[in-house]
Structure 1
Amino acid sequence: MGEQVLTLAEIVQAKARTAPNVQIVRDLERTLTYAEWNERANRLANALIQQGLTQGDRVAVLAYNCLEWAEIYIATAKAGLVAVPINFRLAAREIQFILEDAGVKAVIAQHELAHHIDSIKDSLQITAPALVHFGAPHAPAGWVGYECMIAAADSALPAQTSDPDAPWALMYTSGTTGNPKGAIRNQRGMSMIALVTAVELSIQSQDDALLVMPMCHANSLNFFCSYLYSNAKVTIYSRKSFDAAHVLSVMSELGITFTSLVPTQYILFLELPEQVKAQFQLDSIKHMMISSAPARAETKRAVMAMFPNTGLFELYGSSEAGWVTMLHPHEQFSNLGSVGRECVGSAPIRLLDADGQDVPDGQPGELFSRTPYAFSGYWNQPEKTAKAFRGDYCSVGDIAYRDEAGFIRLVDRKENMIISGGENIYPTEVEKVLASFPAVQDAAVVGMPDQKWGESVHAVVVLRPGQSGEAAEIMAWCREHLAGYKCPRSISFLTEDQLPRTATGKVRHRALRAQLFAD
């Protein structure tokens, strides 16, 4: 239909005809032209169809960042299949939940991670899926080799068609408040988020986006689609873990113009010795994004000093809603603590009280957004889908308020709220005060069961390397900056690696509470 925007799969097909030899997507080991990418995606799509998969069947993907993600996402789109990206940090039991919940018909796994599937495949409560293996010269017993499948399959566009409004990906949420839910994303929605991102970031075809965050996460998938939709190059950072000095060397050597990172990763850049940072030429980097967690003002200033030619953006969004707000470089220090204003093409955010009524500016309410690319619902969970929507507006349970300048300021997640003696306490507010204590590197706050008050505020603190701090002086600091009922009544000291986090660096408050108060 002429009035419809092209999907990314259609863009790849078209560019294979009009710009076949342009190198467009790569990881740190190999590069694909449009023609090569299109052919390999066609072959993989046809191979999956030959395995018996039909339109709407789910294909799980378990892999570190690598170029195969680009092939798999486009192959599933071409064949009308649904990609189910799985976080490689999950344990086998957690992987099994997703495979069963999605009812997958095939699993594509990288060699280093295939043992997770082997350990659970005999206990799956679904029909045994086809198993596809890559990353080693030979596939293990019971698996089909990825490259063998591609080599043997037809290179033509699959005859099995895809509907751009049908599910294309199930993005399982990080599960900060329970079992993960599969957020349904379709190809048309991803085209729309690509167009909006191109406007917000002024993407040009000469750009090269370095995707460091996991390709199984919505952040990287969204930027993957956005830059490629604008005919800009994408580089997938194909290391198993984040190496700050190596990332800088990649940026310098490849002329990267954009990347999106969480605050912790920016801090790791800043902590590198000056003689190491001085080795790299970073002038090519035009735009950098802070996402998934708030960053301190001093961190932002230090990042902007380290990357003087770079515009620093910040966004708020979710797997369900996509991008909701964007804070632009010129707004950073005049609106500290804000996540920006609505992205272009979006309706005004609604902030609702418990009765579903709009709250006045300055007062917290549950954030509902209306974007042109919101998810289609939760996989097989109609009740939770209905709860997430009010008409065309959707919510993931975040609490926020709109300030006098119209900027959105997040307060906390509704599920993380602590109720102590009838008072509502938002952990984020307390965490910000804790983080401002000079010796504190990171902090998280949870509700501790309390016989008298129902819950009391318990703080978990990570101290800066080489710094010391006593619980009593940290609590005294809080009393100077917070109302008494919001102050921590107790403090635990943990190391950074003891804080349970999602793939994007957010503290999993529910898991932390269980870890602290298991009894």
Structure 2
Amino acid sequence: MALWLNLGEIFRVNAVKYPQNIAFCDQNRRFTFPQSNQRINQLAHALLAMGLQKGDTVSCFLENCIEICELYIACAKIGVVINPINFRLVAPEVEYIANNADAKAIFVHDEFVPVIQQVRDKLTQVKEFIVVGSPRDGYREYEDLLGSQSQDEPRASVKPADPWILLYTSGTTGRPKGVVRSHESYIAFYLINGCDFFFGPKDMVLTCMPLCHVNTTFFSFTVTYLGGGNYIHPARSFRPAEILKVVQEQGITFISLIPTHYNLIFSLPEEELKSYDLSSINKLLCSSAPARVEHKKAILSLIPGVKLFEG
């Protein structure tokens, strides 16, 4: 075992240390750390059964879902590199990234299958196509993949300096460029975040920023690393009333948002805004763009005592 435990290794520890804690949940499902760890182990074994080896790359073209979280952690356990592709990209862009990443397999949400089908024959290295959600012809089903595999911990030797995530830039001035992030770069960030934000096993994060983006892998998985929970919310659209309802019902303690999200929240009628119980939130992040002073004051007024961070 490495001196620094990566997210896959610490997840196994958390399954023993926090057996009652929810690791991941959404509108319909709730998985404790032990339950999630079993599913993640099954997925890791499934990846190995496909012939994937340490250092190989797996792409995913997924909206926010529990399955993408499982894939991140399964890859961490066995040294496979995950390449999350922005679900808003069109077929030629997906083709370029998957091929440039030398992806051996790709996980796709059922509704995004038509995008992949446009370029499937051009994905030269991809041998396995897996669908999350409803069955699709020519795609292996995610849950079937898990059900056929062992729940035991996979055997692998993964070092902190090994690559884990292969993200791509937005490509505003040319082709997107791959950016390789190691396990140790994320581990350091998780530990720093834990100290700066006072995260811990009692936290429940509302993840509504895209899980294909570096911001979300930095902040949402910090709480996972420290034994807390993640409520996974779709990222395609932001409905402020829906978000505030989730906060109230799930006891959310932290959210990472951008200024536009806060603008939408404060566009709600004042009476409606004050009808939600947001007292569970003790910290917020506003990032990716400068926040207006009046909005910062409004946030602090809406949730007295909240710690507001900018990044």
Q: Does 1:72 align with 2:68?
A: no
Q: Does 1:104 align with 2:100?
A: no
Task: Give CA deviations for 1:131-158 in whole Å, capped at 9, x if unaligned.
Answer: 011111x3x2211111111000122222
Q: Does 1:296 align with 2:296?
A: no
Give yes or no for contact 2:40–2:70 (8 Å, CA) kept in 1.
Answer: yes
Give yes or no for contact 2:41–2:150 (8 Å, CA) kept in 1.
Answer: yes
1:16 corresponding residue in structure 2: 15
Task: Provide the secondary structure at the position in 1 that maps to 2:184.
Answer: helix
Residues 19 and 301 from structure 1, CA distance in 2 versus in 1: closer, same or farther, beyond 3 angstroms? closer
In 2, Cα distance between equivalents of 1:34 and 1:27: 14
Residue of structure 1 aligned with 2:186, choices 183, 190, 198: 190
**Which 5+ residue runs of structure 1 have no aligned equivalent?**
316-519
Alignment map for 1:95-494 (pairs within 5 Å): 95-124=94-123, 126-136=124-134, 138=135, 140-238=136-234, 240-315=236-311
Give yes or no for contact 1:108–1:132 (8 Å, CA) kept in 2.
Answer: yes
Once the two structures are TM-superposed, the CA of residue 267 in structure 1 deviates from its matched residue by 0.2
Name whichever of 58-67 and 235-244 sits farther off. 235-244
Task: Provide the secondary structure at the position in 2 that maps to 1:271.
Answer: coil
Task: Provide the secondary structure at the position in 1 that maps to 2:60.
Answer: strand
In 1, Cα distance between equivalents of 2:18 and 2:110: 33
TM-score (normalizing by structure 1): 0.58
Task: Provide the secondary structure at the position in 2 that maps to 1:105.
Answer: strand
Give yes or no for contact 1:64–1:110 (8 Å, CA) kept in 2.
Answer: yes
1:94 corresponding residue in structure 2: 93
Q: Does 1:31 align with 2:19?
A: no
Equivalent AA in structure 2 for residue 123 of structure 1:
K
Once the two structures are TM-superposed, the CA of residue 239 in structure 1 deviates from its matched residue by 5.6
Give yes or no for contact 2:21–2:228 (8 Å, CA) kept in 1.
Answer: no
Give yes or no for contact 2:194–2:226 (8 Å, CA) kept in 1.
Answer: yes
Name the structure with the higher strand share: 1
Name the structure with the higher helix share: 2
In 2, Cα distance between equivalents of 1:128 and 1:205: 38
Task: Give CA deviations for 1:253-308 in whole Å, capped at 9, x if unaligned.
Answer: 11111111010000000111112212200111111111111112222222222222
Equivalent AA in structure 1 for residue 160 of structure 2:
P
Query: Where do 4+ consecutive residues of structure 1 move more than 6 Å?
Result: none
Q: Relative contact order (C-alpha < 8 Å, sep 6+): which is higher?
A: 2
Aligned length: 311
In 2, Cα distance between equivalents of 1:31 and 1:279: 26
In 1, Cα distance between equivalents of 2:305 and 2:252: 12
In 1, Cα distance between equivalents of 2:255 and 2:21: 22
Task: Provide the secondary structure at the position in 2 that maps to 1:106.
Answer: strand
In 1, Cα distance between equivalents of 2:268 and 2:278: 15
Give yes or no for contact 1:39–1:155 (8 Å, CA) kept in 2.
Answer: yes
Once the two structures are TM-superposed, the CA of residue 86 in structure 1 deviates from its matched residue by 0.7
Give yes or no for contact 1:27–1:238 (8 Å, CA) kept in 2.
Answer: no
In 2, Cα distance between equivalents of 1:121 and 1:188: 34
**Which 5+ residue runs of structure 2 have no aligned equivalent?**
none
In 1, Cα distance between equivalents of 2:27 and 2:187: 26
Equivalent AA in structure 1 for residue 81 of structure 2:
V
Give yes or no for contact 1:42–1:157 (8 Å, CA) kept in 2.
Answer: yes
Give yes or no for contact 2:75–2:82 (8 Å, CA) kept in 1.
Answer: yes
Which structure: larger Rg?
Answer: 1
Task: Give CA deviations for 1:419-470 in whole Å, capped at 9, x if unaligned.
Answer: xxxxxxxxxxxxxxxxxxxxxxxxxxxxxxxxxxxxxxxxxxxxxxxxxxxx
Task: Provide the secondary structure at the position in 2 that maps to 1:223.
Answer: helix
Aligned-residue Cα RMSD (Å) equals 1.5
In 2, Cα distance between equivalents of 1:292 and 1:174: 14
Once the two structures are TM-superposed, the CA of residue 16 in structure 1 deviates from its matched residue by 2.1
Give yes or no for contact 1:285–1:309 (8 Å, CA) kept in 2.
Answer: no
Once the two structures are TM-superposed, the CA of residue 194 in structure 1 deviates from its matched residue by 0.4
In 1, Cα distance between equivalents of 2:255 and 2:48: 35
